[in-house]
Structures are given as C-alpha cells and as structure tokens.
C-alpha cells in the first residue's frame, strides 16, 4: 500500500490502524484474505474468520504476523447466532476489545427463479444478510460498552459491510444474491442511523467485478474477460487489493466523517455503461 501521511495523527498509512483490533469474516480467501492482510499491514491485530479451509486461514494468520501484529484464526459460521456470539466474545478475551468489524463472508447459490429451491434462497440470505446483522450486532455491543478511546481512534468502532454493485444493479439468475446485497445496503444505512450518536461508524464497500474464486468463470479466459470488460468503463477487472485498500481507508480516521455511505469500488460498473453509446 502506498505510504502517505495522516497529519491528524502523525502516522504514515502503514500505521493508520496501529493499536486497533479487527475481525474479518470469510478471511481465508479472495477479498477477505486481502482485507485481513491489508488491515495487519496497517497496524491492526486481526482475527481471521473462516468456515472451511483451516489450513488456508492459518497461512493468512502467518502473513499478518509478519507485520509484527497479532493474529489468530477462528472457525465460525456467521449465519449461526451462537457461533458469532462466541467468536466476538473470544476476540474480546484475547485482544481486549474490537475496533473494526468487516462483515465480508458471503456466497452464491445461482439458479433461474423458476428452478431456485427454497434452500438455495435461504442459504444465501442466511449468510449474506443475517450473518452481517449478527456480526454487526455483537460488535456494536462491545463498541457501546467501551466507548471512544481517543488514543486509538476518533470513533468508538467501525462496521464495514461488504456489499456489491448488485446492491443497486439487478442480476437475473441470481435473485437470492442480489436480494441479499440490496438488503445489506438498507441494513448498513439503518445501522448507521441508529449507531452514529454512539460515535460508531457504519459504512459499506461494494465491489464490482473482482478476480476471486467465486467468479472465476467470468474472467479466467481471454474471451470471458473481454465480455466482462464491456461492463466496466475503466477497462480492467479489479483485484482483491482494490477492495482491501478501500476497507483500510474507510476504517481509518482519515474518513472519520464518512457515515452511512456505500463506497463502490467497481471501475465504473455502476455508471450503466450501456448508455454511453445509446439511450
């Protein structure tokens, strides 16, 4: 990450989150992995949540520890209330508190509407939407208990909801996923409205097309990538680090006055590129 100066705290960007404690769900691959590593690079101690893939999670922990901060992996299904409660409780016990919750865990179960099962619908809603609610709720409890520690941050805590361009862009064949992300958008705004008086900042980061395992078919061949680029005015597919850097920024005091916002990191995908030459 490029180095800059945060004059309000007298630190470089490599220290933007020094002394803070972060939890990233779904952090053993893709965007979650890059985000967990970037938070560690910025000085935060990090909990690496995963639901499957313990070996991969431990590799992420090792990367983070190389920055001289603390990290550990924690297995938990974010759609399970008891597991989320236990995960945050353990973090408070191990690290003393939590300052940053990145609710990133998500999945897809794609199908045409008339063929989609209730199980496919419910699984995506449970993980992508209910999981974010549970993680935000437990983090907010600790933020409100502890309050602002000025030596650490100007806010009492930060919740970053990982959304998607499909928060606002319909997506045929993916009604469960698009509905879950639309829900995340309103969840984030409502939480931001409710928690802002407690000096808790809630925002969302909404990726566009990013090179991750979940969408490999969309970019793994030259033909697929060329087709995808028609939807991206900036003419490149994003990388996980593009999202990770955005999360670090919105978690830091540099953006302390940003509350209830969605930061679209999408190369212009939400600019409706089809209308550039028509309409």
Nearest to 108 by CA among 116, 100, 99: 116
Chain centre distance of CA 178 = 16
Q: Rounded to whole angstroms, how far apart are CA atoms 138 and 74?
A: 16
Catalytic residue among 177, 234, 257, 264: 177
Q: Under DSSP, is residue 229 helix (H, G, I), strand (E, B) or coil?
A: helix
Residue of 95, 91, 98, 96 lying closest to 74 (CA atoms): 91
Cα–Cα distances (Å) from 22 to 19, 98, 158, 217, 279, in that order, read: 10, 6, 9, 31, 45
Q: What's the Rg (C-alpha) of the chain?
A: 18
The conformational region for residue 139 under phi > 0 = left, psi -120 to 50 = alpha, else beta, is: alpha
* Proportion of the chain in helix, strand, coil states, percent, rounded to 5: 50, 15, 35
User: Residue 177 catalytic?
Assistant: yes
CA distances from 249 to 138, 199, 242, 253, 258 (A): 23, 17, 11, 8, 11
Report d(CA 164, CA 192) in Å as an integer.
Answer: 18
The token pair that represents 183 in the structure block:
């829900």
Residues annotated as catalytic are 177
């Amino acid at each position: 990450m490029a180095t800059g100066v945060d004059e309000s705290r007298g630190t470089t960007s490599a220290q933007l989150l020094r002394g803070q404690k972060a939890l990233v769900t779904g952090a053993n691959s893709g965007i979650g992995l890059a985000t967990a590593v970037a938070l560690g690079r910025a000085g935060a101690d990090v909990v690496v949540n995963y639901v499957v893939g313990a070996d991969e999670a431990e590799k992420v922990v090792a990367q983070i520890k190389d920055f001289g901060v603390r990290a550990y992996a924690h297995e938990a299904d974010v759609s399970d209330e008891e597991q989320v409660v236990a995960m945050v409780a353990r973090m408070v016990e191990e690290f003393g508190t939590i300052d940053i919750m990145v609710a990133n865990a998500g999945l897809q179960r794609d199908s045409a509407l008339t063929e989609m099962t209730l199980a496919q619908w419910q699984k995506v809603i449970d993980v992508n939407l209910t999981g974010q609610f549970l993680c935000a709720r437990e983090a907010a409890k600790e933020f409100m208990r502890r309050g602002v520690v000025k030596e650490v941050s100007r806010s009492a805590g930060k919740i970053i909801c990982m959304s998607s361009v499909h928060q606002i862009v319909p997506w045929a064949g993916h009604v469960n996923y698009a509905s879950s992300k639309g829900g995340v958008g309103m969840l984030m705004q409502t939480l931001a409205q409710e928690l802002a008086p407690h000096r808790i900042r809630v925002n969302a980061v909404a990726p566009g097309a990013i090179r991750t395992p979940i969408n490999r078919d969309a970019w793994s061949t030259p033909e697929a990538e060329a087709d995808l680029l028609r939807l991206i005015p900036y003419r490149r597919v994003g990388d996980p680090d593009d999202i990770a850097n955005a999360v670090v920024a919105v978690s830091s005091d540099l953006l302390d006055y940003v509350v209830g916002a969605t930061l679209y990191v999408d190369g212009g995908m939400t600019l409706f590129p089809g209308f550039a030459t028509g309409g």
